[in-house]
Structure 1
Amino acid sequence: MTAFVTFITVTLLVAIISWFKTRKHKITTSAGLFLANRNLSFTAVGCALFFTNISAAEFVGNSESVYLNNMTVMAWGVSSVFAMLIVSEFIIPIYLKGAMSTTPDFLESRYDPQTKKLVSYLFLIGYMVNLLPIVLYTGAVALNGLFHFSDIWHISHGNSIWILVWCIGLIGSLYSILGGLKAIVISDLVLGICMFTGALLLAYFGLSHVGNGNFQQGLHTILTSKTAHLNSIGTASDAVPFSTIFTGMILMNLFYWGTEQVIVQQALASSDLATSQKGIALACAGKLLGPLLFILPGIIAVHLYNHMENTTEVFSRVVADVSPPVLSGFIAAIIFGAAITSFSPGLNSASTLFVLNIYKPFKEKKGVRLTEKDLLRSSKRFEMFASLLAMFIAPLFIFSTDSFYTFMQKINAAFSIPIFTIMFIGFVTKKVPPIAAKAGLVFCFIGYVLTQMVFDTGIHFLHVLAILFVVTSALMLIVGRLYPMEKAYVAQNKSVVDLKPWKNRHWVNGLLLIVMILLFLLFSPLYFS
């Protein structure tokens, strides 16, 4: 009961703070709903980027993967720092220079409106059948593991997941529909502080539990026994082989941080380029704390449980078993908040893509002039539809048989690499034509589906992605060579925000990269064998 009361109290407190900070922020325009009027500070951008990326899937998936294998899963988060800094230096300036509200806006200016629309549809499908349902499902799994609702309500595990999915989905929908991006960002700031506090407390109580009440003994135990799980390098047979960092993983991270609308939208809401770059650096620092936040609970579980039937509940069980009730409730509120602040931006971004890239052009083509009020109304209706669809799909993930985090990344790859490839070629060339982008998109998507569902290549899916990226890029360049655009693409500066870069970014970025490398060296056979 104490844990549940704490959960409700913290959740309400975050909601009240968000309301108080945004009560004077009236949403009257699409820019206010989608981009918070482009006036976010660097701390707001950094926290929004980090917490939008952090859903219950990070807690659930990472802990499960470490428990079953080792720390190789940390490569997804830690190595993303390199991709984030590339995006900060080279890609975000392009978006801000063109005053773009969505990443497919670049495709319209670089290729043509049809390419923009095609990619917008792909994004929307990915959000509604993958991103949003996964956020809801993992949030439901984590909460059920913490509070054992299935036992309290005397229903099956599957039925409790259905109920919790709908609870999270409905509340997340209200956040997005009523508050827009501004309310989401304020929640991110508050939850960010709570999350780091909760992670430190969980580490203390978890290690004390392993050490039978002695923190130092617990730390000594996990550093000297079962050290195979402390290996971030691993072997070729691991779910995430280390070599994939240099092939498909870097591509997926570049896509995620550089072209994924739900992420990039947070950076595009900054007041200027320097603010955006500072925010990305702050988010990088958060990603480097990943081993403490998401990996340690799985390591603790290795020393507490010899066998678990439902490994998706590793994180929840550790929290419930090692934490005092108040901390359990506090962490449950963080998990719930993480689900909300990943689901809400996903809805907001899906709505941005639909309204600005599909609905508005369709209406204008018919000669209908839309007011800001029309756009806001259509946005909210679409968010209701998208959230309902996600809530129906989410419980079906209970039937997945693969390691959940790996399963999630495999699904993401089907949408991410085709989109990233045509974006990349658009960034680095000036005369590759629209037909090459369309052909590349179709070829890469079909190629990935065939290699994963029809033909058994025997090659890790991340290596397959790298091969498809190279082949698709070559195909687009050949088409560009044979049928180049008559007029080379020239980016326009719409002068909406100040494009002066952050002067201290180089030494800060260098420091972040050094810490990234040191983490891999620390958790390697050099220290643990």
Structure 2
Amino acid sequence: MSLSTLDISVFVIYVIALIGIAYFVSREKAGHEKDAGDYFLAGNSLPWWAIGASLIAANISAEQIIGMSGAGYKIGLAIASYEWMAALTLMIVGKYFLPIFLEKKIYTMPQFLENRFDHRVRTVMAIFWLGVYVFVNLTAILWLGALAINTITGVDIVYGMIFLGLFSVAYSLYGGLKAVAFTDIIQVVLLTFGGLFLSYIALDLIAVNNGGQGIIDGFNILATQAPEKFDMILSPESEHYADLPGISVLVGGMWIMNLSYWGFNQYIIQRTLAAKSLREGQKGIAFAAFLKLLMPIIVVLPGIAAVLLVPDLGKADQAYPELMNLMPSGLKGLVFAALVAAIVSSLASMTNSVATIFTMDLYKNDKNPKSEEHYVKVGRIVSLVALIVAMFVAKPLLGQFDQAFQYIQEFTGFFTPGIVVLFFLGMFWKRTTANAGLYAALGSAVFSVAFKFLYPEIPFMDRVGIVFILCVLVAVVVSLMENKGDDENAVDVKGISFATSKGFNISTVAIVLILTAFYITWW
């Protein structure tokens, strides 16, 4: 179903406005050229509201909206654990990890690894992250985004990917992280409003179709007619237990997945590294945590509603786009703009992170320094190349998957245990050696592949938890065998303050209470 003239007009206004605002906020004073700090870390000028909005805008993209709605359609509310547990994970990151990163004044996560371990660890992890960002994350954002555009407008998927890439470049390539972060507040407002409105329309339509009235009736009817979709903790008898293995979701591998994603992922943590101050960064993280509590209403509930409204979908990932076709003219354009906002924001954030890691970790050579303007130019070129490569490989990698979100989680789960061990022990155990960290990181892939093929019946999230424990053992054993004592590059946590403000502490308690209420209600 194509968009009406009114829908297209709403969308075009959004595109033009976003590009204009991006150029306005990223302009420099007369006579000042952007340096690497300006381009990659926004000159360490981001306020809390921009940090919080940018964290969510970077996170909520096609893979979340389309993928998690698809998972909601197929699995149900249990998939919301990724969102709700992320809220608490963010508070942990803000209290214990961010103070260390800001104290070290780093640009990238690989840079921290070199400061703590050695250049080998930095190079290996930089290459790894570039591969994942280009061949997993960027491809997923482009493919699922183009799939949504194809479902809603009929535009060919290839042309959809080209449009998304060009739009992303148009508003972010010049300004870098500053353009991305300061426009993300607009993206998040649009995403939140559009998503909530789509959920409202879906629930209201369910009520009307079943002789009720209003969203409360709609939700009750949905919960009554599809009760299996409202189980937060899946039983072993569930056909989806392998994806979300019951109580393990609360106490097992999902913690490792979330800590890796929110704490040690350049794509996400980069906006907190650009904070004006530690307190400002922590306020931004708390803001993002509360927004995460809201996300299941926006990205999961529509998928569950689609079970009643469009029950015979060919693929689960078509749930969200198909619901959008139920929207009235004009409002469909607004929700379409919200969806595209999420996609291009994530594209812009991802390409900026790719450019940052390549330029600062692999290209920059302190023995042969270049001008700051040169590094900015290299970053822009890398952003373009990454997008082009992702466009070419998107269909071969993702075209055959029914649920791309679950594919992404399982693939990244091969490596996240080692990453968490590498950073966690690197920050909080002084005896961890460079070899130990490297063996743990590489061992993560080896152990994961071994379990995948030798014990395929183990749910991937349980496998993540088991591999994490094995990687900890590897790192500890290797460090003790080398017997070097405290590493000369060890982080001195005694010199870093982990104290947080009263507002941050109250926010943490509130999030814990809200999460407890959610899980008790839908256990």
TM-score (norm 1): 0.91
Question: In the alignment, which residue of structure 2 is the partner of 1:220?
Answer: 220
Q: Would you say 1:373 and 2:373 are equivalent positions?
A: yes
Q: Out of 211-220 and 271-280, give the one that drifted further.
A: 211-220
CA contact 1:30–1:375 (8 Å) conserved in 2: yes
Equivalent position to 1:194, from 190, 200, 223: 190
Q: Which amino acid aligns with 1:461?
A: F
Question: In the alignment, which residue of structure 1 is the partner of 2:37?
Answer: 31
Q: Which amino acid aligns with 1:389?
A: V
Question: In the alignment, which residue of structure 1 is the partner of 2:410?
Answer: 410
State the shift of 1:404 in Å: 2.1
CA contact 1:273–1:501 (8 Å) conserved in 2: no
CA contact 1:181–1:345 (8 Å) conserved in 2: yes
Question: In the alignment, which residue of structure 2 is the partner of 1:480?
Answer: 479
2-structure distance, mates of 1:484, 1:347: 41
Q: Which amino acid aligns with 1:296?
A: L
Task: Say if 1:392 and 1:338 are closer, same or farther in 2 by CA, change over 3 A.
Answer: same
Question: In the alignment, which residue of structure 1 is the partner of 2:7?
Answer: 3
2-structure distance, mates of 1:268, 1:114: 23
Question: In the alignment, which residue of structure 1 is the partner of 2:456?
Answer: 457
Q: Which amino acid aligns with 1:162?
A: V
Q: Unpaired runs of 5+ in structure 2?
A: none
Question: In the alignment, which residue of structure 1 is the partner of 2:229?
Answer: 229
Alignment of 1:118-137 (within 5 A): 118-137=124-143
CA contact 2:355–2:382 (8 Å) conserved in 1: yes
State the shift of 1:179 in Å: 1.7
Q: Would you say 1:514 and 2:503 are equivalent positions?
A: no
CA contact 1:48–1:188 (8 Å) conserved in 2: yes
State the shift of 1:487 in Å: 4.8
State the shift of 1:417 in Å: 2.5
Question: In the alignment, which residue of structure 2 is the partner of 1:268?
Answer: 273
CA contact 2:415–2:441 (8 Å) conserved in 1: no
Equivalent position to 2:333, from 322, 326, 329: 329
CA contact 1:146–1:328 (8 Å) conserved in 2: no
After superposition, give the CA deviation of every residue in 1:289-332 in whole Å (9 maximum; x if it has no partner).
Answer: 022111121121111123111321110101112x1121111111
CA contact 2:310–2:322 (8 Å) conserved in 1: no
Question: In the alignment, which residue of structure 1 is the partner of 2:290?
Answer: 285
What SS class does the counterpart of residue 454 from structure 2 fall into?
coil
Alignment of 1:170-209 (within 5 A): 170-209=166-205
State the shift of 1:36 in Å: 0.4
Task: Say if 1:353 and 1:492 are closer, same or farther in 2 by CA, change over 3 A.
Answer: farther
After superposition, give the CA deviation of every residue in 1:339-361 in whole Å (9 maximum; x if it has no partner).
Answer: 11101111111111111111113
Q: Out of 102-111 and 133-142, give the one that drifted further.
A: 102-111
1-structure distance, mates of 2:204, 2:431: 61
Equivalent position to 1:161, from 153, 157, 161: 157
What SS class does the counterpart of residue 354 from structure 1 fall into?
helix
Question: In the alignment, which residue of structure 2 is the partner of 1:54?
Answer: 60
CA contact 2:99–2:497 (8 Å) conserved in 1: no
Task: Say if 1:492 and 1:241 are closer, same or farther in 2 by CA, change over 3 A.
Answer: closer
Q: Unpaired runs of 5+ in structure 1?
A: 150-159, 525-529
After superposition, give the CA deviation of every residue in 1:434-483 in whole Å (9 maximum; x if it has no partner).
Answer: 1111222221112212333x334310011111111111111110111111
State the shift of 1:104 in Å: 1.8
The aligned length equals 506
Question: In the alignment, which residue of structure 2 is the partner of 1:345?
Answer: 349
CA contact 2:324–2:332 (8 Å) conserved in 1: yes
CA contact 2:190–2:341 (8 Å) conserved in 1: no
Q: Would you say 1:15 and 2:23 are equivalent positions?
A: no
CA contact 2:19–2:170 (8 Å) conserved in 1: no
2-structure distance, mates of 1:38, 1:503: 24
After superposition, give the CA deviation of every residue in 1:339-390 in whole Å (9 maximum; x if it has no partner).
Answer: 11101111111111111111113xx4xx422110221121122112211111
State the shift of 1:402 in Å: 4.9
State the shift of 1:68 in Å: 1.4
What SS class does the counterpart of residue 83 from structure 2 fall into?
helix
State the shift of 1:231 in Å: 1.8
1-structure distance, mates of 2:88, 2:17: 35
Q: Which amino acid aligns with 2:440?
A: G
State the shift of 1:523 in Å: 2.5
Q: Which amino acid aligns with 1:204?
A: Y
